[in-house]
């Protein structure tokens, strides 16, 4: 009888187009395993929002596996130790998994490979990170030439179908109870808005994609308007690996219109992984060392401003709407993410890492590579970044992108204001705060810090 193989699942919680699962099924009985490894991730353990999604995604995956004659084994601890113990229990020697590129997962892969035979497969990205190289054979740090080179390798291979049946081992090892992991908030239960808006799991991912396909050809015209459902809202599903990028590409590419712009966003996702593969500490260290000397604001006043930003109480309606949307739903419109990030960094002169940490904890689509790359882009500190001196004007952005209805939804104390006033409300407005700082004053302070840095 063929030996059992372990399929080690991480951010790849799907059955369709799963190369590791297909390879394991071809070899014999399969033991699908998810290890909650907070030890290896350390300070990059999943935040509260991601843990909510993980609970429901694992429940959905277990149900899908059971429909194919299998089940999901849950264990908690260091990945290499847990997998080695499971292998001893079930007589397995080989582990199949998809490549992951976060530094802690690469460490875990090395540790597992010292104990067991580890087969790593590709499938989480359009092309394997680290393989899109310049003519000189070096990896790209700038997005535009990276995307140009990546396109020469596209489309990605056709997605693999999900196995019709998954061969089961003769006996099943014990599994943790998902509820025992306490991934869901209880006191208080702050996830009501999550439940209203999201359906984690592979089925939910395909439903979300189907909804997006109807408007995908108009993506470029609609994506920057937060009051319009113009984005795909696939990001949490992609972050948890509930649908493959190859599946997303092939379902979208033939629709015409401006779908090419959306496909470029999938390319940005690949780009971010290539950056962290080269610079593993990108989420914690300025790529441009000169910014290490920037005089970020610190102390009680800066902390109070940070708290106001987190709570959506800055006095800038477009920023506050975005931050409240994030807290309620675990997601924020991409244009508003840029505005909110720029406001924290430039207007409030608070270190981008404080914002990155907040997004890591509160975003359902928290992804180390994209979170780090996007924050360093906004801060001007990244290898490919907006210039620090380019400071977004939140009031102008709000008007330009017709955010009135978006503000009315998320900042209800301003809902009664006419469109001419809602972007920059005349004060006082009952229940709404004054601006933490005027735009001109915040801009001048940021530019002064920049000039001091440049000497």
Catalytic position from the list 147, 181, 190, 296: 296
Map residue 419 onto helix, strand or coil. Answer: helix
Establish whether 181 is a catalytic residue. Answer: no
CA pair distance 336, 58, nearest whole angstrom: 30
Establish whether 410 is a catalytic residue. Answer: no
Establish whether 147 is a catalytic residue. Answer: no
Tell me if 180 sits within 8 A of 156, measured CB to CB. Answer: no
Angle at CA 425, nearest 5°, toward 421 and 426?
Answer: 105
Catalytic position from the list 352, 358, 410, 450: 352
Establish whether 8 is a catalytic residue. Answer: no
CA pair distance 180, 70, nearest whole angstrom: 21
Residues 6+ apart with CB under 8 A from 300: none
Map residue 147 onto helix, strand or coil. Answer: helix
Tell me if 103 sits within 8 A of 281, measured CB to CB. Answer: yes
Catalytic position from the list 104, 249, 331, 375: 375
Helix H or strand E segment including 9: strand 5-9
Catalytic position from the list 268, 327, 405, 413: 268
Using alpha carbons, list the distances in angstroms from residue 16 to 13, 22, 189, 200, 434: 10, 9, 33, 16, 51
Nearest C-alpha neighbor of 388 from the set 450, 343, 444, 334: 450
Catalytic position from the list 81, 89, 203, 334: 334
Establish whether 352 is a catalytic residue. Answer: yes
Establish whether 374 is a catalytic residue. Answer: no
Catalytic position from the list 265, 327, 405, 413: 265
Record the tokens describing residue 383, joined without a space.
């290898």
Tell me if 219 sits within 8 A of 181, measured CB to CB. Answer: no
CA pair distance 449, 386, nearest whole angstrom: 17
DSSP β-bridge partners for residue 34 = 9, 74
Q: List active site positions.
A: 265, 268, 296, 334, 352, 375
């Amino acid at each position: 009888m063929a030996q059992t193989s372990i399929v080690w699942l991480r951010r790849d919680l799907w059955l369709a187009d799963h190369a590791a699962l297909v390879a394991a099924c071809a070899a014999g009985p399969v033991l699908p395993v998810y290890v909650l490894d907070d030890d290896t991730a350390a300070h990059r353990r999943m935040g509260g929002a991601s843990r909510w999604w993980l609970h429901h995604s694992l429940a959905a995956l277990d149900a899908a596996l059971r429909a194919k004659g299998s089940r999901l084994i849950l264990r908690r601890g260091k990945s290499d130790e847990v997998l080695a113990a499971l292998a001893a229990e079930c007589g397995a020697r080989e582990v199949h998994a998809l490549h992951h590129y976060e530094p802690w997962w690469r460490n875990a892969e090395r540790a597992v490979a010292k104990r067991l035979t580890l087969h790593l497969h590709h499938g989480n990205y359009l092309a394997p990170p680290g393989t899109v190289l310049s003519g000189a054979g070096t990896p790209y740090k700038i997005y535009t030439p990276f995307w140009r080179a990546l396109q020469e390798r596209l489309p990605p291979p056709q997605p693999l179908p999900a196995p019709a049946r998954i061969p089961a081992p003769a006996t099943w090892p014990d599994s943790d109870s998902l509820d025992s992991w306490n991934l869901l908030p209880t006191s208080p239960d702050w996830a009501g808005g999550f439940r209203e808006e999201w359906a984690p799991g592979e089925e939910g991912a395909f439903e979300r994609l189907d909804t997006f396909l109807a408007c995908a050809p108009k993506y470029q015209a609609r994506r920057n308007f937060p009051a319009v459902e113009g984005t795909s809202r696939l990001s949490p599903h992609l972050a948890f690996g509930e649908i493959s990028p190859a599946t997303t590409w092939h379902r979208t590419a033939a629709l015409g219109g401006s779908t090419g712009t959306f496909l470029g966003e999938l390319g940005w996702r690949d780009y971010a992984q290539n950056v962290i593969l080269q610079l593993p500490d990108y989420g914690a260290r300025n790529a441009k060392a000169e910014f290490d000397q920037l005089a970020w604001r610190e102390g009680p006043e800066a902390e109070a401003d940070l708290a106001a930003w987190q709570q959506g109480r800055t006095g800038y309606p477009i920023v506050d709407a975005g931050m409240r949307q994030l807290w309620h739903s675990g997601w924020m419109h991409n244009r508003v993410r840029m505005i909110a990030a720029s406001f924290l960094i430039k207007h409030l002169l608070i270190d981008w890492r404080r914002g990155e940490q907040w997004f890591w904890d509160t975003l359902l689509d928290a992804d180390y590579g994209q979170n780090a790359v996007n924050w360093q882009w906004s801060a001007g500190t990244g290898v490919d970044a907006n210039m620090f001196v380019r400071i977004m004007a939140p009031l102008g952005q709000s008007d330009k992108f017709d955010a009135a209805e978006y503000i009315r939804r998320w900042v209800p104390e301003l809902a009664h204001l006419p469109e001419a006033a809602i972007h920059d409300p005349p004060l006082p407005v009952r229940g709404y705060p004054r601006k933490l700082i005027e735009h001109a004053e915040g801009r001048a302070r940021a530019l002064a810090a920049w000039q001091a840095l440049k000497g």
